[in-house]
Amino acid sequence: MRSQIAAKERVVVIGAGVVGLTIALHLQTLGFEVLILAKDFPGPFETLDPQAQINYASPWAGAHNGWGRDLPTGEATPEDWRDHRFALETFARMTAIQAQHPEAGLTFTRGFEYFDDPPEHIKYLNHEKASALGMEEFCLLHRDNLPKGVTFGYSFRTWCLNPMVYCCFLLRRFVYEGGKIQKRELRSPEEAFVVSPSHSARFVVNASGSGFNDDKVFITRGQTCVVANPCDVSISRHYADGSASFCIPRNFDGGTIIGGTQEPNNWSSEPAPGLRLELLKNLTETYPHILSKGECFRPLRDIVGRRPTRKGGMRLEKEEIGQGRAVVHAYGAGGRGYELSWGVARSVGCMIADAIGGPKQ
């Protein structure tokens, strides 16, 4: 039920990526009146401009839950454990959404993590430890069943999604529940307090992805290729040199996304010549079944995306700015925006509810 206290409060959310949309939708369930301000909003993948909207990270994401290098250990930081908790909360919410809204663009499937040279906190992973970390249907793979060059691997139950089907679903639900949107490009979070006088608010959520002039934020360039070939599993391979190869089924006529590059501070917006062939070759070596029965790859588009990443991890805190107003910062998730989204949304809701004495759900 919606709180009578929260129902009197208005909140402005900056950003309509997956984190901003999820926060806005969650705040609505707590009874807040929410306005989203953003430069870019979701739309059909086929209509988005990969050059003009390169900084709108959500459409270009792989968008899945991977239990790989990000798994925390005893030496993990508090932020690592916080993010893992967010990932588990998101996993539970994705399970509920998929069951209640098959139109949301979500699919549950098997995920595979392969390591040529596993880090210490991964090489001792077993069923007991995986269960303690909340992983479902964990299975350690026998060496005879690993791709050539891989020395350690495991599978698990996971989710993946078609990002624009899912983001359009979130936006549609938000508007259906009475949410408001305005297309705006802001210079600072403080501008959001005055940009819409009819929606005066004490709280602004900065879910802008990259923040505003945060010197800890940098972009991580990723190049992928979307192919029309279907795939029934999610694959991530981690090479000894730190590079990776992956494929993520998008389903809902979204094809399969194949990638593997992570390039900090590379601002190039053009696909690197020849990289598509390398990405496809790497995946084929790891998972040849994607080309069963002599089929060839059917590429649809090369994609370059910029993931806003933050040194020290995502910024998630409330900042008092005077006159009874506050900005709640929720940005810098890097490539884990989808994976952490519902946990982040709940945390933001708790911060605002604490400030007004409302319910924390």
Average pLDDT over residues 140-153: 96
Tell me how far apart the alpha carbons of residues 10 and 110 are, in angstroms, rounded to a whole number: 41
Residue 298 falls inside a structural domain: yes
Residue 125 identity (one-letter amino acid): L
- Is pLDDT at 7 greater than 70 in this prediction? no
Tell me how far apart the alpha carbons of residues 88 and 42 are, in angstroms, rounded to a whole number: 25
Residue 198 pLDDT = 60
Residue 260 pLDDT = 85
Residue 5 pLDDT = 47
- Residue span of the structural domain in which 97 resides: 10-356
* Number of separate helices (H) and strands (E) present in the chain: 8, 15
Residue 204 falls inside a structural domain: yes
Angle in degrees, CA 151, 156, 158, rounded to 5: 130
Average pLDDT over residues 235-259: 93
Q: 45-50: long-range contacts at Cβ-Cβ below 8 A with a sequence spacing of 24 or more?
A: 45/162, 45/163, 45/164, 45/254, 48/164, 50/301, 50/303, 50/304
Tell me how far apart the alpha carbons of residues 169 and 173 are, in angstroms, rounded to a whole number: 6
Q: Enter the pTM of the model.
A: 0.94
DSSP 175: H
Give the relative orientation of helices 78-100 and 337-356 as an angle to the nearest 10 degrees: 100
* 122-140 pLDDT, tens digit each: 989 999 999 999 999 999 9
Give the relative orientation of helices 163-176 and 18-29 as an angle to the nearest 10 degrees: 30
Closest among 83, 144, 113 to 330, alpha carbons compared:
83
* 272-282 pLDDT, tens digit each: 989 999 999 99
Mean residue pLDDT across the chain: 91
Q: Could you give the number of structural domains in the chain?
A: 1
Residue 361 falls inside a structural domain: no
Q: Give the CATH number for residue 214.
A: 3.30.9.10
221 contacts 335 by C-beta, under 8 angstroms:
no
Residue 170 pLDDT = 97
Average pLDDT over residues 309-321: 94
Residue 2 pLDDT = 47
Residue 43 pLDDT = 85
- Is pLDDT at 358 greater than 80 in this prediction? no
Residue 196 falls inside a structural domain: yes
Tell me how far apart the alpha carbons of residues 349 and 358 are, in angstroms, rounded to a whole number: 10
Half-sphere exposure of 168 (CA within 13 A, CB side): 13
What's the token pair of residue 317? 């805190």
Which residues are CB-contacts of 289 (< 8 A; sequence separation ≥ 6)? none
Average pLDDT over residues 310-316: 94
Residue 249 falls inside a structural domain: yes
Other C-beta atoms within 10 Å of 294: how many? 5
Residue 53 falls inside a structural domain: yes
Residue 360 pLDDT = 59
What's the token pair of residue 38? 């953003």
Residue 2 falls inside a structural domain: no
DSSP string, 84-110: HHHHHHHHHHHHHHHHH-GGG-EEEEE
Closest among 60, 352, 86, 93 to 206, alpha carbons compared:
352
Residue 86 falls inside a structural domain: yes
